[in-house]
């Protein structure tokens, strides 16, 4: 599978959402053309986007506005946008210091299994954390990657995807050196348990983290996990 990499910095959420939607629709259009013309091409160009958004709160398909703790005026004062979107999951935050990764993949080139797709994203993040000496893991019924133990569970990566005609979009949000105060505006992922909170790589390691180094690790491990090659 061939993948084009895009690195977008200091972006508005809508601009990147529009961009990934364009790529998503293009792959679907190519698949429809092949189906109508009885052609098969398993080498469609797929896309991986890494971006660092301006502050934004997004609500997935299962999100409740009850999990938003500030009104629009208060969010505006903090220069934070809000969007209701079509990914799975509840409410989360994207912003500076976070790697938001969007996977626009034709899953029919890999496997037709959305649950395995999400688990493989989690596995890639767990492997990246392992490179920093951190033991990430999954929790049953809570999509994403966590650190800690039962008395103090800390979510470091949120995951939410959308599929149409087996073409994926959206993906993961890994906190590198994110200002965690932003998460006080929401009940992250709608999880109110007192033993569950949000964390970042810099908090866990107690030091500055080289964002470019994290990006390179993510690219390498995602390519290995999903068995793809980057288009030069």
Report the C-alpha gap between 190 and 183 in whole angstroms: 11
Given the residues 51, 99, 157, 189, the one annotated as active site: 189
Q: Where are the domains of the chain?
A: 2-230
189 is catalytic: yes
- DSSP 3-state helix, strand, coil percentages of the chain (rounded to 5)? 35, 35, 30
Under DSSP, is residue 175 helix (H, G, I), strand (E, B) or coil?
Answer: strand
pLDDT of 200 over the 90 cut: yes
Under DSSP, is residue 221 helix (H, G, I), strand (E, B) or coil?
Answer: helix
Question: Mean per-residue pLDDT for 210-215?
Answer: 95
Question: Mean per-residue pLDDT for 134-158?
Answer: 93
Q: What is the fold, at CATH topology level, of the domain defined by 2-230?
A: BirA Bifunctional Protein; domain 2 (3.30.930)
Report the C-alpha gap between 56 and 207 in whole angstroms: 25
Give tens-digit pLDDT for 112-131: 999 999 999 999 999 999 99
Give tens-digit pLDDT for 172-183: 999 999 999 988
Report the C-alpha gap between 161 and 104 in whole angstroms: 10
Please report, rounded to a whole number, the percentage of residues in the chain having pLDDT higher than 90.
66
DSSP 52-65: EESSEEEE-TT--G
Q: What pLDDT was estimated at residue 176?
A: 98
pLDDT of 191 over the 80 cut: no
Mean pLDDT of the chain: 91
Q: What is the pTM of this model?
A: 0.94
Give tens-digit pLDDT for 50-92: 999 999 999 888 888 888 888 888 888 888 999 898 888 888 9
Give tens-digit pLDDT for 20-36: 999 999 999 998 888 88
């Amino acid at each position: 599978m061939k993948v084009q990499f895009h690195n977008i910095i200091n972006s508005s959420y809508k601009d990147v959402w529009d961009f990934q939607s364009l790529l998503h629709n293009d792959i679907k259009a190519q698949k429809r053309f092949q189906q109508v013309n009885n052609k098969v091409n398993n080498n469609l160009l797929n896309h991986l986007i890494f971006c660092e958004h301006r502050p934004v709160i997004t609500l997935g398909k299962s999100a409740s506005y009850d999990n938003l703790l500030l009104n629009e005026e208060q969010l505006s004062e903090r220069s934070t946008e809000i969007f209701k979107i079509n990914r799975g999951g509840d409410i989360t935050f994207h912003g500076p210091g976070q790697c938001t990764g969007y996977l626009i993949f034709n899953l029919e080139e890999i496997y037709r299994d959305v649950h395995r797709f999400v688990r493989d994203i989690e596995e890639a993040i767990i492997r990246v954390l392992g490179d920093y000496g951190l033991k990430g893991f999954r929790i049953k019924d809570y999509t994403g990657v966590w650190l800690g133990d039962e008395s103090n569970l800390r979510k470091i990566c949120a995951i939410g995807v959308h599929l149409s005609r087996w073409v994926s979009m959206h993906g993961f949000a890994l906190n590198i050196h994110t200002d965690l105060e932003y998460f006080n505006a929401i009940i992250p992922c709608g999880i109110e348990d007192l033993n569950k909170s949000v964390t970042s790589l810099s908090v866990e390691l107690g030091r500055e983290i080289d964002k470019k180094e994290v990006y390179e690790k993510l690219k390498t491990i995602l390519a290995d996990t999903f068995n793809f090659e980057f288009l030069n």
